[in-house]
């Protein structure tokens, strides 16, 4: 009889990625080249939080090829978001911008102290802001303002912001005022 308790198996490194690669093989087996070019059909770019609970295409009735999707933690408008939007508009013809934050966002449960904690742990302060927020409506307004005032964008007249409710699936539009 063994004197050591049975250990749970270690998860194999890469096993999740292997699962995705397997899924891709099945996807590709039925894939038909839609023959699209890279210009989004609806001429819209959607900036949204990376939250795993938001299925953007399903939630917005989007089809393959309809839009550019730019996602990050919070769906915030950083310099890199502006970089993507600038390329989206100037090189690939989009005209509208939709911003989507959501209820129960992880960025509401941390603060900018996160950067200080990181610095203490690794000895280097990140150059980026955490972009944490407490008032999601106000953060959507700030994001809209950053898009509307960007000197690099050519289309800033159709910029709308929303909060997605992760419990109901509904969008709530945020007005500028
Ligand atoms: Zn989020």
Consecutive H or E run containing 87: helix 79-90
Q: How many Å lie between the centroid of ligand 1 and the Cα of residue 71? A: 10
pLDDT: which is higher, 137 or 9: 137
- Give me the residues near ligand 1 (ion), CB cutoff below 5 Å: 49, 51, 105
Domain ranges of the chain: 35-174
Separation between Cα atoms, residue 163 and residue 177, nearest integer Å: 15
Q: What is the pLDDT of residues 7-47, one digit of tens each?
A: 766 656 679 999 999 999 999 999 999 999 999 999 999 99
Q: What is the pLDDT of residues 51-106, one digit of tens each?
A: 999 999 999 999 999 999 999 999 999 999 999 999 999 999 999 999 999 999 99
Q: How many Å lie between the centroid of ligand 1 and the Cα of residue 53? A: 9
Q: How many Å lie between the centroid of ligand 1 and the Cα of residue 100? A: 9
What is the model's pLDDT at position 14? 74
The CATH number of 35-174, from 3.30.1490.120, 2.60.120.280, 3.90.340.10, 3.40.1050.10, is: 3.40.1050.10
pTM passes above 0.85: yes
């Amino acid at each position: 009889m063994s004197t050591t308790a049975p250990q749970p198996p270690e998860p194999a490194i890469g096993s999740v990625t292997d699962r995705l690669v397997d899924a891709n093989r099945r996807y590709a087996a039925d894939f038909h080249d839609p023959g699209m070019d890279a210009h989004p059909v609806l001429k819209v770019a959607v900036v949204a939080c990376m939250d795993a609970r938001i299925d953007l295409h399903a939630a917005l009735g989007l089809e393959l090829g309809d839009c550019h999707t730019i996602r990050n933690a919070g769906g915030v408008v950083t310099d890199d978001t502006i970089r993507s939007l600038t390329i989206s508009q100037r090189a690939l013809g989009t005209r509208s911008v939709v911003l989507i934050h959501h209820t129960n966002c992880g960025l509401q449960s941390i603060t900018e102290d996160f950067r200080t904690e990181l610095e203490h742990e690794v000895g280097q302060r990140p150059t980026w802001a955490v972009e944490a927020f407490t008032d999601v409506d106000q953060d959507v307004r700030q994001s809209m303002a950053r898009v509307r005032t960007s000197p690099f964008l050519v289309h800033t007249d159709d910029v709308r912001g929303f909060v997605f409710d992760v419990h109901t699936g509904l969008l709530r539009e945020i007005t500028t005022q």
